Chains A and B, each alone.
Chain A
């Protein structure tokens, strides 16, 4: 193999690695968002009119930790009927790990015009034990 070929191979390998899903040890909020939230809330967090709300400057995201965690664990089934204003369901995400949920909630709290402190895995564990 020529040096050029080795370099190209290495380059392609690194590009491909970037496309693979993150494994549990390197869980990032971005990866969790892309796999579990993006289809509904879209890449820019803008949501879909009538179906899924935008996550921009959201009161729920910037509000109390416990309410945000409970909502994402339980999904929209946990909301009273009169608070439901969209033609879709938000599924509950209690099947994600504490680390994954902490990562994704910290992620949405730091973008889409939101600004609130990160959430730790132990905060998720604490709410889970209440449910």
Chain B
């Protein structure tokens, strides 16, 4: 392929969801019907049940081999920061729900016999026994993450070689000299990249590690990659990052409100060791199919980024959708189309105002065993918002935050606005 053909191909593949006709069957939410009691819409042939409701600010999910569902919480519920849910009679609705855990936040993952979880500054783990709720005290696996208000969550995922990957978000929007101030230039080099704005790799099995002393920076230039997952089939780490905010408010001379709502893209990447993903110096413009120089660093909305090291995304989503979790479909209960593909939970935008808010859905990217994208992304579950158009995030009924695949191949989806967890199964009809 010539360079131009390749560019054109990349641009095409970044255009967005393809019409149903390009696939043998429409596996998008649009093929299904919204169910009033569920609140959401899933593709025809799929069924959703409310697994649990009003659970608080539920964030990430993990499902154990025996079917126990674990959920993390953005803020503590009455009896703890974590929830264990079991469905003894298998009717798709949890019948035993227990809260536990002395600290927490968003991060949550199962590794061997351990349940890993994190606050904004510390990663801990509980040893799991027979019972759903662990009995021992939490061990500290990594501490010392800098405390920060923005992009502070510390989600983790594990490879098959004993490593734990942790996203450490950027403590700012675009590393400006004066935070979120119109016209303020970006710091160069951006000092925040030293200990933040990237993905760090730690020993998965060692307790007492400290950020900055132990572990190594695996990838950099990532503003907030809290939607991250290890793909065991492709043996690679993937993430989808949050693009920067407020192009129009900070640089009204270069961007309209409409451009600022659409831009920049949310970028989906296969993380390369030592890869650089361009924050804060650049952002991805999915409409041009190009990486652009950030306005804090001399950009004007029309000038491409110069640094050839900044990696282009595999695919991209519209601005500010806020990817909150990523999980690969490892089950075999869904149709073949879904095998090895990526589900993404989009929390939904706030930064598209004054235009209507978007996102608030679960998207799907079809992929093969090698982790290559095989078709265009589509929306797998939607109607979480509750009203259309949605002016303000506060009015949304549900906001997707977490995903996990159960041992029976069901997909679980969490929501931190209504505190709901859905279980989505394929029932062949």
Residues of B within 8 A of A86 (CB): 149
Cβ–Cβ contact A48 & B350, under 8 A: yes
Given contacts A48-B393, A91-B180, contact A38 B354 (CB under 8 A): yes
> Chain A contact residues: over half helix, strand or loop, or mixed?
loop
Query: B28 an interface residue at 8 Å Cβ cutoff?
Result: no
Q: List 16 extra interface pairs beyond A42-B394, A47-B394, CB under 8 A.
A: A35-B252, A36-B249, A38-B354, A39-B246, A39-B249, A43-B354, A43-B391, A46-B392, A46-B395, A48-B350, A84-B149, A91-B178, A91-B179, A91-B181, A92-B178, A95-B182
Binding site for A on B (CB under 8 A): 57, 74, 149-152, 172, 178-182, 245-246, 249, 252, 350-351, 353-354, 391-395, 416-417
For B178, what are the chain A residues with a Cβ–Cβ distance below 8 Å? 91-92, 95
A-B contact pairs, 16 of them (CB 8 A): A36-B249, A39-B249, A40-B350, A42-B391, A48-B393, A49-B393, A49-B394, A50-B57, A50-B74, A76-B149, A77-B179, A87-B149, A87-B151, A88-B149, A91-B180, A95-B182
State which of A34, A44, A89 has its C-beta within 8 Å of the C-beta of B179. A89
Distance in Å: Cβ of A49 to nearest Cβ of chain B: 6
Asked if A54 CB lies within 8 Å of chain B CBs, one says: yes
Determine which of B354, B393, B416 lies in contact with A34 in the assembled complex, contact meaning CB atoms within 8 Å: B354
Task: Establish whether residues A42 and B353, one from each chain, have CB atoms under 8 Å apart when the complex forms.
Answer: yes
B150–A88 contact, CB under 8 A? yes
Bound CA–CA A43/B351 (angstroms):
12
A89 touches B180 (CB 8 A): yes
- A51 contacts partner chain B, Cβ-Cβ < 8 Å: yes
* Contact of A63 with B by CB under 8 A: no
A92 adjacent to B181 (CB under 8 Å): yes
Interface size class, chain A: 20 to 34
Pick the contact of A89: B57, B149, B351 (CB < 8 A).
Answer: B149
Within 8 A of B (CB), among A67-95: 75-77, 84, 86-89, 91-92, 95
CB distance from B153 to the nearest CB of A (A): 9
Interface centre among B182, B353, B416 (most CB of A within 10 A): B353
Docked CA distance A34–B355 (Å) = 12
Instruction: Give Cα distance in the complex from A40 to B173, angstroms.
Output: 13
Contacts of A42 in B (CB 8 A): 350, 353, 391-394
Give the contacting residue for A43; candidates B74, B249, B353; CB below 8 A. B353
Find chain B residues with CB under 8 A from A49 CB.
393-394, 417
Q: Which 8 A-B pairs have the closest CB atoms?
A: A91-B180, A48-B350, A46-B394, A42-B392, A48-B393, A46-B392, A91-B179, A39-B249
> How far does the alpha carbon of A23 sit from the alpha carbon of B226 in the complex, in Å?
41
Provide the bound-state CA to CA distance between A81 and B281, in Å. Answer: 29
- Bound complex: CA of A88 vs CA of B416, how far in Å? 17
Chain B residues near A89: list those with CB within 8 A.
149-150, 172, 179-180
Chain A residue, CB-CB nearest to B249: A39
- A43 and B392 contacting across the interface, CB-CB below 8 Å: yes
Q: How far is the CA of A95 from the CA of B151 in the complex (A)?
A: 26
Chain B residues positioned under 8 Å from A77 (CB to CB): 179
A51 touches B350 (CB 8 A): yes
> A36 to B248, alpha carbons, bound, how many Å?
10
Q: Can you name the residue of chain A whose Cβ is closest to the Cβ of B260?
A: A39
A21 at the interface (CB under 8 A from B): yes
B249 touches A48 (CB 8 A): no
- Contact in complex: B182, A39 (CB < 8 Å): no
